[in-house]
A and B are shown apart, each in its own frame.
Chain A
Amino acid sequence: MPLHPPGDKLVDLPTAVARISDGALLALGGGLSARLPMALVRELVRQGRRDLHLIGSAHSIDVDLLVAASAVRRCEESYVGFEQDLGLAPAYRRAAEAGTIEVAESCCVTVLAQLRATEMGLPFLPVRGVKGSDLRRLHPEYAEVTCPFTGEVLVAVPAVRPDAALIHAPIGDRYGNLHLDQPYVLDERFAPASRQVIATVERVVSTGEVTGAGVTIPAHYVAAVAEAPFGAHPTSCYPDYAYDRPHLAEYVEAAQAGGEELASYLKTYVYGVDEPGYRELLGPDRLAALHSWSRSTEDWKGLFG
């Protein structure tokens, strides 16, 4: 697979998401409550994508929302949930318990090894753990390999090549150069290991501004970039905004209730609006307040109270 040739890759969000087919193996960028590619996720739902196979490390509303919208066939994350704060992921949990999604739970280190194998053009890599864990039973594709030098028997995990990595960045240029703030989570590995990066950015800026801030993911991995302000909301995208804990709580409550309440959340925030409509619904005051973290420690603390 060649690198993506240079060019103007700026498109609108629906066009970017149209590059993803039903059944695709998708790597979702960011992690937990930070920099999840939520505008891309919402657009996948609007376009009615089905049978997605998701892979990643620790995730929350991105995976749960896709599961809630019946877009997912198989999940291979190391964690899906809202930590101690808001608890288990309601739609993911319900679907896993009902058996309506396949859950092949994985481990951060294993997923990392599988991506690195692809990056290196290798068919597999060994990992040191997994033996003794029942996670192995969820992955009949794992095998064992004996080290030719030490005789050690290690678990071998196959290379994984996602069809697309969905990544949200604070800034990027129209050619696809992206700057991220740490933690990058797996995004730096997703980019070369995937067939294409589909990116959204808070702001499209000049190449000079991206190189000045530092290019984290270079244009040659990126197939399309769309501007999506608050594209990680309700998760954070520092330095622009902290996460919107009340909104996450609102989602979790609706998803726990299921049925009408969940349908109403999806109608209000996903099916019934495009992204400008989503931002309008939240209102400029509320969105601006999420930036208050930068004013003072007290303001920052206040966002989590």
Chain B
Amino acid sequence: MTAFTLDEWFVVLLARTIRPRETVFHGFGSPCAQVAMHVARRTHARDSTLIEGATYAVNPEPAFIPPTGNDAALKRGAAYSMRFEEFFDAAIRGDVDRMFLSGGQIDRYGNTNVTGIPVDGGGYRLKLGGGGGGCNLAATIPFLSLWNSRHRSGRALVEACDFITDMGHRTPAGTRAELGYTGGGPQSLVTELGVLDFPDGHARLIQRFPDVTVEEIRAATAFELPVAGDLRVVAPPSAAELAAVRSVDPLGVRRSEFAPSELKRTFEHEPGADCAC
């Protein structure tokens, strides 16, 4: 069996959050989500509809994923590209099933902060890039797949976001139901340490990577983290999934999301492991 790396496995886990026949979108700023959508389309979700990056190309087949979300390389092979407003209209009326969201900070309800850490009286202690269209899209898109590749830092999964850019399941303003939001909110959160879900709108650990303990994950999480009774080790990538990652992303742009030490994590399939090779 071939060895594989954390970044490859991480992208496969993101891809698995996509279900067959879904229409799925990710904008820019995350090569991992960008690569994952194509991996899903080449493995378990061949009939999904993929809307590509900031080009809004429909079901393109890029020869490689470039390091920017707005490049003509991402349109290759697409018969059609949506216009900007055409995409956002589709998402707001509920025709886009899933999108990927991340944040420098994520709290227990799946709220995300991509804006920064403001200080009282104006200015910021830290200014991040901003949320693109997430603040409206998070309201109406049925399923949100969250990810974060800096969980271990202890600064990513926070007790409370210093600024809520995109709403998760509830904010101080209320719950989704109270705010009249039609989207279902975050369904899962994939990090470089494990996988979380959101039963009753609160993050819970359901899977861990084999080289990480629950104690380490809890120590890296600022909020009280419930753990599923049937906590499992993350299922390894199949040969087909790994081949898809490598073929979709020959430039390895996915690796830019990880700390150098995480990129050194390598794994092997256990001898005789059951995999869909």
Contacts and interface: CB of A to CB of B under 8 A. Distances in A.
Contacts of A243: 68, 71
Given A107-B136, A108-B88, A112-B88, A133 B129 contact: no
A88 B127 contact: yes
B64 A301 contact: yes
Given A78-B131, A88-B129, 4 more contacts: A132-B139, A133-B167, A182-B55, A188-B83
Contact of B131 (A79, A182, A293): A79
A84 B31 contact: yes
B29 A110 contact: no
Interface stretch (B18-26, B116-124, B189-197, B201-209): B116-124
B139 A129 contact: yes
B69 A83 contact: yes
Contact of A183 (B70, B92, B125, B135): B70
Query: Among A81, A130, A183, A305, which residue has the most Cβ atoms of chain B within 10 A?
Result: A183
Interface centre among A131, A186, A305 (most CB of B within 10 A): A131
Contacts of A260: none
A134 B67 contact: no
Contacts of B134: 107
A184 interface: yes
A236 B68 CA distance: 11
B251 interface: yes
Which 3 pairs across A and B sit closest by C-beta, in order of nearness? A129-B136, A81-B129, A99-B123
A238 interface: yes
Contacts of A271: none
Interface string B129-158: 111111111111000000000000000000
Interface stretch (B8-16, B172-180, B220-228, B239-247): B172-180
Contacts of B64: 297, 300-301, 304
Contacts of A135: 115, 131, 135, 165
Interface of B: 27-31, 54-56, 63-64, 66-73, 75, 81, 83-85, 88, 92, 115-116, 122-140, 163-167, 171, 173-174, 176, 179-182, 250-251, 253, 256-257
The number of chain A residues touching the other chain, given as a range, is 35 or more
Contacts of A33: 68, 70-71
Given A135-B131, A242-B71, A84 B54 contact: no
B51 to A, nearest CB: 12
B124 to A, nearest CB: 5
Interface stretch (A40-48, A90-98, A196-204, A261-269): A90-98
10 contacts: A33-B71, A58-B132, A79-B132, A81-B129, A108-B88, A127-B136, A130-B135, A132-B171, A153-B180, A238-B72
A99 B120 CA distance: 11
A290 B129 CA distance: 27
Interface string A95-127: 011110001010111101000100000000001
A152 interface: yes
A79 B171 CA distance: 22
Contact of B67 (A84, A105, A110): A84
B256 to A, nearest CB: 5
B31 to A, nearest CB: 6
Contacts of B133: 57, 78, 107-109
Contact of B129 (A34, A80, A112): A80
Contacts of A78: 130-133
A97 B126 contact: yes
A96 B163 CA distance: 15
A85 B129 CA distance: 13
Given A108-B133, A133-B167, A134-B164, A88 B128 contact: yes
A88 B56 CA distance: 23
Contacts of A173: none
A31, A79, A236 pick with most chain B CB within 10 angstroms: A79
Which of B28, B55, B122 has the most chain A CB atoms closer than 10 A to its own CB? Answer: B28
Nearest to A89: B129
A25 to B, nearest CB: 19
B127 A107 contact: no
B71 A34 contact: yes
A80 B167 contact: no
Contacts of B115: 105, 134-135
A32 interface: yes
A32 B138 CA distance: 21
B136 A132 contact: no
Given A133-B167, A184-B83, A109 B92 contact: yes
Contact of A182 (B75, B123, B136, B171): B75
A273 interface: no
Nearest to A186: B84
Contacts of A129: 92, 135-140, 167, 181
B56 A183 contact: yes
> Max chain A CB contacts within 10 Å: which of B83, B135, B179?
B135
